[in-house]
Each structure stands twice: as structure tokens, then as C-alpha cells.
């Protein structure tokens, strides 16, 4: 099936970046850049007042940071709505506009695929719940040109995963051959990556029956795809979607635990859900307790309160052992900017667990068959490999943080 008319344009506009001129030395440090971006995209932003405080030499770095945090289209939308675009220098204004148009074109392609995928899954009684961008854009939390998507993520019951993969293969999708192997995926990774090309644009679909991929952290935060499906409801198109409380809780765990406070757009997602969804905070608190996620929720609601002015009851989740609010207020911008020490950022998901030492131990020393399946080593060599795993994890974390996308 051919993609929508804008599919070819999506490839051109979204994947080819408009180069920005090199500015002089920026007067803003990485944390200050994150705070400036947050001040511009927050719902009650006085964009003109913020822009008047930005030196022209800071604009190239600010625009690049907006793209890295996937907030460039939203920044362009906010400046347009505030009639403040003329306060941005010409090259940066053009860059932000192209990012917004590219995101809109790419999202149109992905939303078209989203409709096909969800409809096909429903026909074989293997319903998919849209997560993250597809859910937020299709539900009207964002316009299609405000919130960039790079793939389609769905929660699926484990019993339906194989059937859904077969159905998607008939739509032209193929399982990613570069993955860790079918047996490991079914037993431990519990996420299926399928890809196809539409009008020369790669499209990826991820099916998750475990909402946190890390084995130890999944045990620490037991929020299953089955639970999301049990409480799902239909949207205006008749497609199943998570209830507001589960959508918010998943977004918080995705932002704080899976991705360690790494992108501003996910913090804005949390803010938009708190403002736009009818959250039943009593029900949300019950779901949070069942997922043992009080500390993660406290941190992920406290940060947008400080940076985006979000009105959410973060103090309600400040349980004993949670990160103190003053620490979150002081460090959140550094985490988002990737400017905190690598060890601190790597430790964040474990610091948010009820029992950090137990989760860290499980992460460092998983079962022997996990080692054998993940790394393709003989079972007899798995104990030695497991002993070396902490060093391998530390090296990988440092490498990932240095070259973070």
C-alpha cells in the first residue's frame, strides 16, 4: 500500500537537517539551555520576555538543543502562537520551521501506518494500545506538527504477540534480524521490533508486552501490558487506548526509569497529560502503589512542576526513601542536559526503586540462561561472563552517555 502524499516529503524534510551557522562561545551552560527551552515551551510561557533575555550568540546552541530534545517543532509552534518568531534570528527561525514541517510530514506518514496497524490487529483479536507519540497526537494532546515521532510503540498482551507479528508481516513488516534472537526476545526482552519502508522512508513498529525492557527494573516496577489492556477504553476512532492514569504512569516510567530523564519532550508529555487528561489522582495513586513507583512518580512530577509549572500533587508520592525534593529541583536540569556525572545518571533508575541495592544486584548478575542467550556464550561459560558483566555494563553506560543521541 502506498503511503500518504506527504510521505516522500517526510523523508526530505525530516531526515535532512538545515545546517546552522557556528555562533560564538555560548553564554549558557547546558542546564541553563534546558531551563530556557522549558521556559519557552511551557503552557503559560511569556515567550517575548524570555526571548529578550537570550543573546544572539546563544541561538545556534539553543536551536541544536531543541532538536536534540525533540522540542524544536513545539518551540516553533509556541513562538508562532505568541507572535514572537521575529525575535529569533533568521537562520534559527528557518531551522525551527523546517523541523516543524518535517515532523508534521513524518507524523502524517506514521499516523497513516498507525491506523493500518491497529485496524489489522483488531481484526485478528490481538488489540494494540498506542503509547507515547502516537497516542498523544491521535488524542489531540499535540498537533501533528508539534510532537515528533520516530516510530510506533504499542503495548500488547504476551499471548497475542506472535499472532500480531504474523499479521504485520502481511502488511510488509519484517522482524528486525539484528535483534538478540527469538528465544531471548520471547523470554527476556519481551519486545518485538518490526520494520518496513514506505515511500523510501523507514518505518519501525515496536510491540511491548513488558513495559520496562531491563529485567531487574521490570521486577522493581511491575507494570505489565496486561494491566494496561484490562483498563483500556476506546478513543473517538474506536481504537483501544490506555486509561489516562496508565498513560501517565507509563510515560513517567519511560522518562524516569527507562531513559533516565534524558529528553525534555518526555517531560513536556507528562506536563501535557497532567493538564489535558482527566486524571483520577486517587486511582493513579493506587496504580502507582501497585507498580511500586512512588519515588519515580514523585521525581517525574516534581521536575515538571519546577521547570514547566505543572500543577500535579507530587508531594503525595514523597514516600520514605524517595529522592528529596530539593535534590530533584537542583539536579533535574542537569539530568536533562546530560551534564550530570555519568555514574549519577546511570544510577538514577535504581535510586528510584523501593530497594535499590536488590535491583542493582539483579541487574549486574542476571540468570545464567540470560547471559547465554543474550551474548551467545556456552552455558558453561555463563558464570565467568556474569562475573565480568558489571564491568561491561559500566563501560557501555559511559560510552552511551558520551555519544547520547
- pLDDT one-digit tens code per residue, 132-147: 999 999 888 999 899 9
Q: Are 158 and 226 in contact (CB under 8 A)?
A: yes
Q: What is the pTM of this model?
A: 0.86
Report d(CA 362, CA 151) in Å as an integer: 30
Q: What is the pLDDT of residues 86-120, one digit of tens each?
A: 888 889 999 999 999 999 999 999 999 999 999 99
Q: Write the CA distances from 400 to 51, 53, 212, 346, integer angstroms.
A: 33, 34, 18, 10
**Nearest to residue 322, comparing CAs of 284, 293, 345?**
293
Tell me the pairing of strands 201-208 and 233-234: unpaired
**How far is Cα 347 from Cα 368, in angstroms, rounded to an integer?**
24
Per-residue DSSP letter, 210 = B
Using CA atoms, how far apart are residues 321 and 353, in angstroms rounded to an integer? 9
Tell the burial category of 26 from Cβ atoms under 10 Å away from its Cβ (0-12, 13-18, 19+). Answer: middle
Task: Give alpha helix (H) positions in 201-280.
Answer: 215-220, 225-230, 244-253, 264-276
Helix (H) / strand (E) element for 336: namely helix 325-337
DSSP letter string, 299-319? HHHHHHHHHH-----GGGG--
Instruction: Tell me the C-alpha distance between 225 and 242, whole Å.
Output: 10
Backbone angles phi, psi at 241, to 5 degrees: -135, 155
Three-state secondary-structure class, residue 279: coil
Q: Is the pLDDT at 9 greater than 50, yes or no? A: no
Q: What is the maximum alpha-carbon separation in the chain?
A: 66
CA distance 2 to 196: 12
| Predicted local confidence at residue 4, as pLDDT | 41
**The pLDDT of residue 285:** 95
Contact 314, 302 (CB under 8 A): yes
Long-range contacts of 237-241 (CB under 8 A, 24+ apart): 237/115, 237/138, 239/115, 239/118, 239/119, 239/122, 239/130, 239/138, 240/118, 240/122, 240/127, 240/128, 240/129, 241/129, 241/130, 241/135, 241/139
pLDDT exceeds 50 at position 283: yes
CB distance 67 to 99 below 8 Å = yes
CB 27 within 8 A of CB 57: yes
Q: Say if residues 113 and 198 touch (Cβ distance below 8 Å).
A: yes
DSSP summary character for residue 44: T
Q: When comparing pLDDT for 321 and 131, which is higher?
A: 131
Residue 21 has pLDDT above 60, yes or no: no
Q: What are the angstrom distances between the C-alpha of 61 and each of 19, 102, 131, 311, 358?
A: 12, 20, 31, 30, 40
β-strands 152-155, 201-208 pairing = parallel
pLDDT band at 3 (very low <50, low <70, confident <90, very high): very low
Q: Residues in the chain, how many?
A: 405
Average pLDDT rounded to a whole number, residues 288-308: 94
Amino acid at each position: 500500500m502506498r503511503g500518504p502524499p506527504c510521505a516522500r516529503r517526510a523523508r526530505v524534510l525530516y531526515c535532512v537537517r538545515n545546517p546552522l551557522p557556528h555562533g560564538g562561545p555560548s553564554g549558557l551552560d547546558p542546564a541553563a539551555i534546558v531551563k530556557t527551552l522549558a521556559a519557552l515551551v511551557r503552557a503559560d510561557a511569556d515567550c517575548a520576555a524570555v526571548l529578550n533575555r537570550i543573546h544572539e550568540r546563544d541561538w545556534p546552541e539553543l536551536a541544536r538543543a531543541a532538536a536534540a530534545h525533540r522540542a524544536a517543532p513545539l518551540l516553533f509552534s509556541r513562538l508562532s502562537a505568541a507572535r514572537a518568531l521575529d525575535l529569533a534570528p533568521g537562520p534559527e527561525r528557518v531551522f525551527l520551521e523546517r523541523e516543524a514541517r518535517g515532523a508534521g510530514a513524518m507524523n502524517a506518514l506514521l499516523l497513516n501506518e498507525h491506523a493500518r496497524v491497529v485496524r489489522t490487529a483488531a481484526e485478528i483479536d490481538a488489540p494494540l494500545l498506542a503509547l507515547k507519540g502516537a497516542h498523544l497526537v491521535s488524542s489531540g494532546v499535540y498537533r501533528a506538527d508539534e510532537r515528533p515521532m520516530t516510530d510506533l510503540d504499542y503495548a500488547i498482551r504476551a499471548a497475542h504477540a506472535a499472532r500480531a507479528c504474523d499479521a504485520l508481516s502481511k502488511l510488509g513488516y519484517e522482524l528486525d534480524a539484528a535483534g538478540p534472537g527469538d528465544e531471548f526476545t520471547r523470554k527476556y526482552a519481551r519486545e518485538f521490533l518490526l520494520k518496513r519502508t514506505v515511500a523510501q522512508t523507514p518505518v519501525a513498529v515496536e510491540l511491548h508486552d513488558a513495559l520496562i525492557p531491563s529485567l531487574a527494573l521490570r521486577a522493581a516496577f511491575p507494570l505489565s501490558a496486561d494491566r494496561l489492556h484490562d483498563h483500556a477504553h476506546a478513543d473517538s476512532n474506536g481504537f483501544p487506548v490506555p486509561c489516562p492514569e496508565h498513560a501517565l504512569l507509563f510515560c513517567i516510567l519511560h522518562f524516569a526509569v527507562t531513559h533516565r530523564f534524558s529528553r525534555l519532550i518526555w517531560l513536556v508529555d507528562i506536563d501535557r497529560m497532567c493538564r489535558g487528561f482527566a486524571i483520577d489522582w486517587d486511582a493513579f495513586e493506587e496504580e502507582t502503589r501497585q507498580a511500586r513507583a512512588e519515588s519515580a512518580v514523585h521525581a517525574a512530577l516534581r521536575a515538571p512542576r519546577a521547570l514547566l509549572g505543572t500543577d500535579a500533587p507530587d508531594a503525595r508520592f514523597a514516600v520514605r526513601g524517595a529522592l528529596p525534593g530539593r535534590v530533584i529541583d537542583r539536579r533535574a536540569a542537569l539530568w536533562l542536559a546530560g551534564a550530570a556525572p555519568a555514574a549519577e545518571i546511570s544510577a538514577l533508575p535504581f535510586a528510584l526503586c523501593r530497594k535499590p541495592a536488590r535491583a542493582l544486584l539483579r541487574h549486574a548478575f542476571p540468570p545464567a540462561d540470560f547471559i547465554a542467550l543474550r551474548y551467545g556464550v556456552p552455558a558453561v561459560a555463563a558464570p565467568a561472563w556474569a562475573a565480568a558483566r558489571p564491568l561491561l555494563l559500566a563501560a557501555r553506560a559511559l560510552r552511551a552517555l558520551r555519544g547520547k543521541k
